[in-house]
Amino acid sequence: MNLDAPVSELKGIGKKTEELFNAVGVYTIRDILLYFPRDYISYPDVKDPADLMPGEHAAIFVHISRPPVVNTKSRLKTAILDIGYQNIQLRAIWFHQPYIRSVLKKGQDYILYGRTAEKNGVLYLEQPLIHSPEQYRNLQKTVQPVYQLTKGLGNNIVKKAVDQALSECVSDDEMSSLRDRLPEEILQKHSLCGYAYALQNIHFPIDIEACIEARRRLVFDEFLLFLLQMHLMKEQEEKTANNLVFQEDSILSDIIDRLPYELTGAQRRAMEDVFADLRGPYTMQRLIQGDVGSGKTVIAFSAMLEISKQGYQAAIMAPTDVLARQHATKLAAFCEQMGVDAPVVLLTGSLKAAEKRTALETIRNEKNALIVGTHALFQECVEYASLALVVTDEQHRFGVKQRAGLAEKGELPHYLVMSATPIPRTLAIILYGDLDISVIDEVPAMRLPIKNAVVDPTWRDKAYSFIEKQIAAGHQVYIVCPLVEPSEEMDGENVLEYSKKIRERFQGVANVGMLHGRMKPEEKNAVMEAFLRGETQILVSTTVIEVGVDVPNATVMMIENAERFGLAQLHQLRGRVGRGDAQSYCIFMQGKKANTENERLSILNRSNDGFEIAREDLKLRGPGDFFGIRQSGAFSFQLADVFQDMAMLQKASEEAKEILAADPELAAPEHYMLKKEIRRMAENSYSGERFHI
């Protein structure tokens, strides 16, 4: 079967269903085969309702004596079934599914399977699946896939499409569709299953062990193909000669002398690396990796000033409009402090037409301009006079094509990347193999360590009193909530209601701002600018502030329902405070049902070191814990997780080295399928945001 054929070639997929598949990124037969489950259901034995506990997935037997009630007044059109058991208040609830009323027939027996939750003293079975007793007994013999869906695209539709695609590919006489791209020698060496077997058992595993074996093979493929592709791209893009002509001596020593503080040893080493690259024989391609608050920006600004002093342009790209504006203000002050006369230009999407015209004209004419902006920097209308250095801030917020688009604006400019992703150096070397790496693993001495506290809701009044004292001392506060608005589907503090509560609690004491991702860009900018100027003292927000502006006056970060967030995300949020010379604090407020001995929060409570936190996270999660888990961050694969699968990444790295040492061009017959797959990925599938095997 042709893997590049449209998904509509499968039986039962008409134009409407094809559009639904397209909405989740599935266009071809290959896409449907690689549309891996996000989770699995291994159906448990039917449980006595008296033994149900909140937070578990469970199955119960019900006899329908009366049909469910549909709440048509609710915008969710909720179907509710009260299940009558002695001394137990139990309800099954279905959101957006009023038709359930006609599915459950009076007088019939069913098995309901779903997640249990408790709300207002009532135990709920949320969105339970409905089976006849016989169907459920058959399901218990299998492991069933659960796919990421969109409105109108049901799990059964995806399952049928995948099953049909697998069947047709496997029935191919020569098995050419799913022919293995790895040589038999590699499969045996690492005890890996075949590719066709892996695809079959990642979607429809015989059992849990087969699913783990399938995932292990596909994770190895993702890592190996990624590393081989990266190497081949690097070989094709030979080092470019550095054609910049510097007429003056380096200003590095002058910058160090004029700084009002002492650089850390790690900062000095990184600074020396960058300045050596700028005058080296080849254009710089360097990563500066440092924890939040480690002082990466001063290195980038210094490099930009060196370029400007030599008569060339430098540009720095930030992930948000507000952060770009702050960079521009700080860069102008830095120029004045260092005695460098250069125009600082701001270019963002929110500029007014007249401001944008002026900015574009300056970029076009001023050869030593220092340019700060967002993604607007690589628009077609931008013409650079002499772009010689490109700096990307928080580079994982941009795709490869975006970064390349900015780099192409100059004549082979130097390229400097700054990342606050705290991954071990060995992992960074593997994954950033196309960049030279400088690590800043020290925190500036002037910054006091953040004091942490993990507390439960009974401490909230004390936390508010503490916040009031901080505001009275002239400081500011972040409060982060996991939700934007109230949800019937999950408990947790939400920004809309929490902001009202905080305004009432701190009336006459503090002005309160509110920020969340659903606001328009200009609204978000206005809120952040007000907080930056100190006009608001408390900012209630979702995680949109994770990569935010530098507010040295903010000394308290309180995170509600902290147990809901990932370890790395909590550390990034904490990094919003502790940026001034005052003592700062982070309060991790756990939800009502959270375990006070939460191990992840304990790690954050005792350490502010992002690299140590990353190591502990790896130990804590372990390689076996993968169902439903995806690591967010700089590297997003379909199945692989660079932390939990680090052992497999190391094996794939060693294998890639051996393959390339023996066959650098992958020209040998046994590597034909590997090279073919890499070529296909390079042409079609690598967007820079997610790596597709």
Given a contact cutoff of 8 angstroms between Cβ atoms, the answer to whether 114 and 122 are in contact is no
Q: What is the mean pLDDT of residues 590-595?
A: 68
Residue 633 — pLDDT band, cuts 50, 70, 90?
Answer: very low
As a whole number, the mean pLDDT across the chain is 85
Per-residue b or e along 508-525, where b marks 16 or more CB atoms closer than 10 Å to that residue's CB: eebebbbbbeebeeeebb
Q: Which percentage of the chain shows pLDDT scores above 70?
A: 86
Residue-wise pLDDT for 24-62, tens only, equals 999 999 999 999 999 888 889 999 888 888 889 899 999
Read off the tokens for 314. 């430098």
Phi, psi of 554 (to 5 degrees): -80, 120
Q: What is the mean pLDDT of residues 646-665?
A: 90
Given a contact cutoff of 8 angstroms between Cβ atoms, the answer to whether 346 and 377 are in contact is no
Read off the tokens for 363. 């970029």
DSSP string of 87-129, one letter each residue: TEEEEEEETT-TTHHHHS-TT-EEEEEEEEEEETTEEEEEEEE
Read off the tokens for 434. 């196309």
Q: Is the dihedral of CA 296, 549, 542, 507 positive or negative?
A: positive
Report helix, strand or coil for 71: strand
Residue 403: the pLDDT is 52
Residue 636 — pLDDT band, cuts 50, 70, 90?
Answer: low
Amino acid making up residue 638: Q
Read off the tokens for 33. 């085969």
Given a contact cutoff of 8 angstroms between Cβ atoms, the answer to whether 41 and 142 are in contact is no
Q: Per-residue pLDDT for 619 more than 70?
A: no
Task: Give residue for tokens 């009432």.
Answer: 504
CA pair distance 644, 618, nearest whole angstrom: 6
Quote the pTM value: 0.63
Three state DSSP letters for 467-507: HHHHHHCCCEEEEECCECCCCCCCCCCEHHHHHHHHHHHCC
Amino acid making up residue 666: L
Q: Which of 334-338, 426-430, 514-518, 645-649 has the highest mean pLDDT?
A: 334-338
CA pair distance 431, 413, nearest whole angstrom: 22
CA pair distance 521, 575, nearest whole angstrom: 23
**Start-to-end CA span in the chain (Å):** 18
Please give the angle made by the CA atoms of 590, 537 and 568, to the nearest 5 degrees.
40
Q: What is the mean pLDDT of residues 592-604?
A: 69
CA pair distance 448, 451, nearest whole angstrom: 9
Given a contact cutoff of 8 angstroms between Cβ atoms, the answer to whether 199 and 178 are in contact is yes
Residue 132 — pLDDT band, cuts 50, 70, 90?
Answer: very high
Nearest Cα neighbor of 126 from 198, 58, 73, 184 is 58
Of 195 and 322, more confident: 195
Task: Give residue for tokens 């399952």.
Answer: 159
Residue-wise pLDDT for 330-384, tens only, equals 999 999 999 999 999 999 988 899 999 999 999 999 999 999 998 888 888 899 9
Helix axes 195-203, 208-236, angle to 10 degrees: 120
Residue 543: the pLDDT is 87
CA pair distance 527, 214, nearest whole angstrom: 48
Phi, psi of 453 (to 5 degrees): -145, 130
Q: Which of 96-100, 191-195, 665-669 has the highest mean pLDDT?
A: 191-195
Residue 515: the pLDDT is 93
Rg (CA), the chain: 28
Residue 689 — pLDDT band, cuts 50, 70, 90?
Answer: very low
DSSP string of 144-200, one letter each residue: EEE----TT--HHHHHHHHHHHHHHHHTSTT--TT---S-HHHHHHTTPPPHHHHHH
Three state DSSP letters for 338-398: HCCCCCEEEECCCCCHHHHHHHHHHHHHCCCCEEEECHHHHCCCCCCCCEEEEEEECHHHC
CA pair distance 400, 216, nearest whole angstrom: 27
Given a contact cutoff of 8 angstroms between Cβ atoms, the answer to whether 541 and 515 are in contact is yes
Residue 624: the pLDDT is 32
Residue-wise pLDDT for 552-592, tens only, equals 999 999 999 998 887 878 888 898 998 888 999 999 999 86
Q: What is the mean pLDDT of residues 663-672?
A: 90
Residue-wise pLDDT for 64-98, tens only, equals 998 899 987 777 789 999 887 666 678 999 988 88
Q: What domains, with CATH codes, occur in the chain?
A: 1-42+144-171 (1.10.150), 44-141 (2.40.50.140), 180-238+643-693 (no CATH), 252-440 (3.40.50.300), 451-607 (3.40.50.300)
What are the residues whose beta carbons fall under 8 Å from the beta carbon of 219, sequence distance 6 or more? 637, 639, 640, 645, 648
CA pair distance 9, 20, nearest whole angstrom: 15
Residue-wise pLDDT for 192-219, tens only, equals 999 999 999 999 998 889 999 999 999 9
CA pair distance 164, 32, nearest whole angstrom: 10
Q: Which of 87-96, 295-304, 427-436 has the highest mean pLDDT?
A: 295-304
Greatest Cα pair distance in the chain:
91
Of 139 and 488, more confident: 139
Calculated CA dihedral for residues 350, 355, 360, 364, nearest 10 degrees:
-150
